[in-house]
Structure 1
């Protein structure tokens, strides 16, 4: 009996790691669902929720403001969630009037994003974390996807720079594997959320987030998807980050899994067999 359980468990692991991705790849080749892309200059607001990001906030702002995007159509709101390390002072003194600060008491990322959404009125809202820098074409590339009226959310690709240690290298390998799966999910319109470091949403679809939500980058895209629009993965819109340790990555995945169970409590239809995301 023990041997049977071992064999079944081994087969399940092999299916999850290799069988499912291969079947998904075949599905994506047989039944692709492309979109129309065309860049149309559109006013955008960029929200950066941050707590104690003094080491990253200036490079982040420099990166965004050096983007190849019409400068008159771009503004940035930094939402400081109780920062105490000098982050607020850097933002307040930043020499560009398009950068504004919303300083809040500690309340969590979900609350910070909701408060930020209340302050902006641009047609498209871009959400991003403080650590990652953007490719100069990332904003323009994401906005081009909204030319297709079926698209409600566009998520970019997080590129993990090559690490020097074996541990960092392995983390990068995992991210490449995960992005291969995302590309195939995208081809069949079955994306399971966005990448928190780089995604955009139509302002009309960006609803308030319950304060206890762990994964805003899953909650908001699913709200848009269940409103009848598409989550699209644009892998040419890139954000860059340095690799983290396997321990850090492990705890990130623990938080993500907890957030996934929480999301299923808010979106019961995800478990309905008629939903194309159910099998994923």
Structure 2
């Protein structure tokens, strides 16, 4: 029992702290990658910006303006808004107001984002495609900063950075989400420096058109699958933190819970569908990064945490409180108690930032377990109702 407890603790510590330390150390032992040059007249390929936009009429004015304001030359940029199945006049708005500068791919049937992306890719002629969500705002140099990576023929895809736009009075979920993505961004920088990042965020990522592989319409994490399939073919997925998408946090804790459970279910689906990447003899460093950064966080740590609590309680019952196991159990009780208080306060819209770290950590892992249950039941499809986001604050300039 003691050995199993120690192993579980070691796995959790490695997942959230140890892996970052190991990657940081490995980077220091290898030559630094050369700096990425800016785009120039010698390298300025044509690009298509694809924006899936199902019933996003409220976001479209800002999104179109933000897309047209990109500093990458307009003559080398094509804009394609995919509004398939929308019932909120998105098609009419785009065609009436921007029909001369953007293309619209509509349709009367809603088949899901992935099916819409697959359909859009059938007509793409540009060598590079950039996907971005309708409810995000990009920094104005985003396209320029992404495209420059493709000068390297070994780069098959490029992931931008997702940033959560929060205010001082933001909810615990929003604050926790922002902290989580800051940590994720640092890990992605190290992953890319070592070899490749393992999974792009759908808010902003780009691929070489010739490398795009259509994925099943039932795919939950399309961005993750598409980028990992490219990495599995031997190409690098680069990371560009100076190409970022700003997104507001979820409107409420219930909206964030819905989103997290769906992501977790998609994580388990991806692990099964990408099981070939678990072979270190074939994929080497990619397998190391993939297992350490993704598989352990989705499929190992969430199962270890309740085991740690139960095993620790069993040891205290057997040996009493007056030892190291008692201190550990008391610390767990305090941590989860703080998380529970943070959850109760959040439901009553009473926010205390001091509690958002234990709250959000626990919240993520509980959602991961719920996602496992949903995946095993098979009741999650690629078509789903989007979660609400908090009201937009100051626009990106």
Structure-2-length-normalised TM-score: 0.66
Aligned match of 2:249: 243
User: Greater CA deviation, 41-50 or 262-271?
Assistant: 262-271
Cα deviation, residue 13, structure 1: 2.4
User: Is residue 91 of structure 2 the alignment partner of residue 91 of structure 1?
Assistant: no
Deviation track 1:225-255 (CA, whole Å, cap 9, x = no partner) reads 2333210011111111112244434433322
Deviation at 1:69, TM superposition (A): 1.2
* Partner deviation per Cα, 1:82-131 (whole Å, 9 max, x = no partner): 11122222212223523111113110111000011112211111111111
Q: How far apart are 1:190 and its partner, in Å? A: 3.2
Cα pair 1:37 1:148 within 8 Å, conserved: no
In structure 2, distance between residues paired with 1:273 and 1:172: 33
Correspondence for 2:275:
268
Alpha-carbon distance change, 277 to 248 in structure 1, aligned in 2, over 3 angstroms? farther
- What is the match of residue 79 of structure 2? 76
Asked if residue 14 in structure 1 is aligned to residue 18 in structure 2, the reply is: no
* Structure 2 residue aligned with 1:254: 261
User: Residue in 1 aligned with 2:170?
Assistant: 165
CA distance in 2: counterparts of 1:5 and 1:55, whole angstroms: 52
1:249 and 1:24 map into 2 onto residues whose CA distance is 30
Work out whether 1:31 is the aligned partner of 2:34: no
3-state secondary structure, aligned to 1:236: strand
Residue in structure 2 matched with residue 44 of structure 1 by the alignment: 47
**8 Å contact 1:33–1:189 — kept in the other structure?**
no
- Distance in 2 (CA, whole Å) between partners of 1:172 and 1:129 is 18
Q: Structure 1 residues 78, 246: CA separation in 2 closer, same or farther (over 3 Å shift)? A: same
CA contact (8 A) 2:232 2:277 kept: no
1:143/1:190 CA distance change after superposition, 3 Å: closer
Number of residue pairs the alignment of both structures matches: 279
User: SS at the partner of 2:219?
Assistant: coil
Secondary structure of the residue aligned to 1:140 is helix
Where does the alignment leave 5 or more consecutive residues of structure 2 unmatched?
293-397
197, 203, 206: which one aligns with 1:191: 197
How much has 1:6 moved relative to structure 2?
Answer: 4.7
RMSD: 2.0
Name the TM-score, length of structure 1 as normaliser: 0.91
Q: Relative to structure 2, which stretch is displaced further, 193-202 or 250-259?
A: 250-259
CA 224–85 in structure 1, closer or farther in 2 if over 3 Å, else same: same
1:44-63 residue pairs with structure 2 within 5 A?
A: 44-63=47-66
Larger Rg: 2
| 1:61-95 alpha-carbon deviations (Å, 9 max, x no partner) | 11010010111111111111311122222212223
Separation of aligned partners in 2, 1:277 and 1:70: 35
Give the 3 Å change call, closer, same or farther, for CA 175–254 of structure 1 in structure 2: same
For residue 5 of structure 1, report the CA deviation from its aligned partner.
Answer: 4.9
Matches within 5 A, 1:94-173: 94-95=97-98, 97-104=100-107, 105-163=109-167, 164-167=169-172, 168-173=174-179
